[in-house]
């Protein structure tokens, strides 16, 4: 499998399964699932660079994606993004108890604001947190020189904040007030 093709499929799936299904007139159900046959058909109609998207290519991307961003349902008739949505979907994730510390990778230009108001969802449905510093460095590096924040997730959880673990191991929560963030 050509890795360049797999990467462009992953990028396109992020677009239509997380942010803009209307780009190809795709319908997602309230839990974020798209019908696999419909996705393949609509991708092919739209004359985009993924033409033709095949079931084999889709399966390869789901299995081999570096961050396991997408998942099939049990009988592989539906597919969805496991996290990262900007559109409103109900992922029905069970609450989970986080470890004492989680991490968030960001960049310097956001620090003043984060110090004032904590971490906000911004355009997504959740604040995304990483289980280790290495992962947070990768997340922050998408935007420039990474700044790593340590989140006192254990204390947050004891104070009643809810946490969810996505199918691909990303920790999600609604907000992180500044008092739970270590800025050093």
Asked if 164 and 171 touch (Cβ cutoff 8 Å), the reply is yes
Is 131 an interacting residue with respect to ligand HQG (CB under 6 A)? no
Residue pointed to by tokens 């289980």: 131
Say which residues have a Cβ less than 8 Å from residue 3's Cβ, sequence separation at least 6: none
Give, as ranges, the residues between 22 and 51 that touch ligand HQG (CB under 6 A): none
Q: Annotate each residue in 111-130 with x if it binds ligand HQG (CB under 6 A) or - if it does not, as one string.
A: --xx--x-xx-xxx---x--
Q: Please state the closest distance from residue 45 (CB atom) to ligand HQG, in A.
A: 26
**86: which strand partners?**
none
Asked if 36 and 73 touch (Cβ cutoff 8 Å), the reply is no
In terms of CB distance, is 41 or 121 closer to ligand HQG? 121
Q: What is the 3-state secondary structure (H, E, C) of 36-91?
A: HHHHHHHHHHCCCCCCCCCHHHHHHHHHHCCCCCEEECCCCCEEEECCCCCCCCCC
Q: Annotate each residue in 80-99 with x if it binds ligand HQG (CB under 6 A) or - if it does not, as one string.
A: ----x---------------
In terms of CB distance, is 73 or 141 closer to ligand HQG? 141
* Nearest CA-CA partner of 139 in 111, 170, 100: 170
Q: Please state the closest distance from residue 75 (CB atom) to ligand HQG, in A.
A: 25
In terms of CB distance, is 100 or 117 closer to ligand HQG? 117
Q: Count the site residues for ligand HQG by CB under 6 A.
A: 18
The residue ranges that bind ligand HQG (CB under 6 A) are 14, 67, 69, 84, 106, 110, 113-114, 117, 119-120, 122-124, 128, 139, 143, 170
């Amino acid at each position: 499998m050509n890795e360049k093709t797999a990467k462009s499929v992953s990028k396109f799936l992020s677009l239509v399964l997380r942010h803009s299904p209307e780009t190809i007139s795709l319908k997602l159900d309230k839990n974020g699932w798209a019908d696999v046959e419909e996705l393949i058909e609509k991708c092919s109609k739209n004359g985009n660079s993924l033409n033709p998207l095949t079931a084999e290519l889709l399966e390869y991307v789901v299995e081999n994606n570096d961050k396991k961003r997408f998942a099939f349902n049990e009988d592989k008739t539906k597919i969805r993004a496991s996290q990262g949505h900007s559109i409103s979907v109900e992922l029905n994730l069970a609450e989970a108890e986080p470890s004492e510390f989680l991490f968030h990778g960001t960049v310097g230009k956001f620090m003043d604001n984060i110090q004032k108001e904590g971490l906000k969802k911004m355009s997504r449905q959740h604040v995304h947190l990483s289980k280790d510093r290495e992962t947070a460095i990768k997340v922050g590096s998408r935007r420039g020189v990474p700044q790593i924040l340590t989140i006192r997730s254990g204390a947050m959880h004891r104070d009643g904040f809810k946490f969810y673990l996505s199918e691909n191991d990303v920790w999600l929560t609604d907000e992180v007030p500044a008092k739970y963030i270590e800025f050093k």
